[in-house]
Amino acid sequence: MATALKSGSPQSGRFKAGLLLFAFLIAGGTLYYSHGVVVRLEERQKQVADLYAKSLEYLANAPGAMGGDYSFVFDEILRSIDFPIILTDSHHEPIPPLSGSYINAVRNIDLDTTLSLDDQRDLLVDLIRDMDRTNPPIKVAYQDTIILNYVHYGESDLVTRLRWYPYIEIALAGLFVFIAYISFSYIKRSEQSNIWVGMARETAHQLGTPISSMLGWVELLKTGTQGNERLAGIVADIENDVQRLQKIADRFSKIGSKPELAEESLQEVVQKVIAYFERRIPQSGKRVTIEFTEEIPVTVRINRELFEWVLENLIKNGLDAIENGGIIRITTGRAGSRVFLDVADTGKGVEGIYRKDIFRPGFSTKARGWGLGLSLSKRIVEVYHKGRLMLKESKPGEGTVFRILLRNG
């Protein structure tokens, strides 16, 4: 079908792509910086844990220190440790309990001392397993030969928070951008809708007065056609064209107001529009045939005037796409719980890069086209009839199929 190119790709699309790229750069920079901070903190934790292990090793190797008291290391030397630590024996078992709990084997771990010793041990073994996945344990040896203990350590709360902070920050920023984008798009659509409504109503208003005058002149001409069949035929054609203009003005006047929907036979609506085009296609010099296939009789709730307008736009689009001879096929039926109407042509089709723009106002490949037919049709179908108008299929050089989906009547 004939589509739109003269207005080119929208500048807003490139602007949005630029903003998205800028957002990705900010997100990447934030992640990179936060990752660097986390790595440095992890390195510091490793150094502190290693210092703790060396302190224990020093005490163990001091004369008379075998089996000595390590509480001095816990309480004084490394009082500033802010990450979880578990001290185990050479078999990776938590240091034997004192005073009915394993509290002497841990630091910065909330250990429930009301649990039984077996439950405490199981809990610590699970924690040790998780810590070792992240950080290898540090051994405490006597004379560099006999392994006395292992120091198992994990991440501090600060490191854990810093690790997740950039993702949370990016998620919140993304949510804000998404809400802002939706709001901006809604405002933009509202402004466009107001422009549509204003232009349509002004057009209907401007057409109203001359059309009324023309209808009066037609009635006056009729009084002078008695006995002159040729003149009577000319006046009748003029009257039909003026009534057509009146119909177009009435359609424009309905834009922006809530249309009245009624049960209509889809077959009757389609056949009426086809009859209109069959009288006018020969005048265009094109050899185009319009075929209509109805799978099953269907009724739909539509505004007849506006829906005929949609169908006329789709058929005109097909006629513009067919350069010499061809066929326009209209098919109606049911697709699940909805009624469909397909308008297919054997024209030049739509190239893939333009498919996303065919319903955009102002997009047209025709030298004198305004690019409003498809966008107006989409608005009528989706806003006023709560249906859907889409490009179902198109192949360059073979043709295009548009599909309308409507609710059952």
Residue 328 near residue 344 (C-beta atoms within 8 A): yes
> What integer is the mean pLDDT of 259-283?
88
Give the dihedral sign, CA 61/63/65/67: positive
> What integer is the mean pLDDT of 316-343?
89
Tell me: pLDDT of 72 over 60: no
Q: Percent of the chain having pLDDT more than 70? A: 86
pLDDT of the residue at 31: 78
Tell me: pLDDT of 273 over 60: yes
Task: Select the highest-mean-pLDDT range: 94-98, 249-253, 327-331.
Answer: 327-331
Give domain limits for the chain. 12-154, 161-241, 259-407
Task: Select the highest-mean-pLDDT range: 68-77, 111-120, 211-220, 259-268.
Answer: 259-268
Confidence of residue 337 (pLDDT cuts 50, 70, 90): confident
> What integer is the mean pLDDT of 267-286?
86
Tell me: pLDDT of 385 over 70: yes
pLDDT of the residue at 12: 61
Look up the CATH superfamily of 259-407: Histidine kinase-like ATPase, C-terminal domain (3.30.565.10)
Tell me: pLDDT of 340 over 90: yes
pLDDT of the residue at 301: 92
pLDDT of the residue at 169: 78
pLDDT of the residue at 258: 75
Tell me: pLDDT of 19 over 90: no
- The model carries a pTM of 0.54
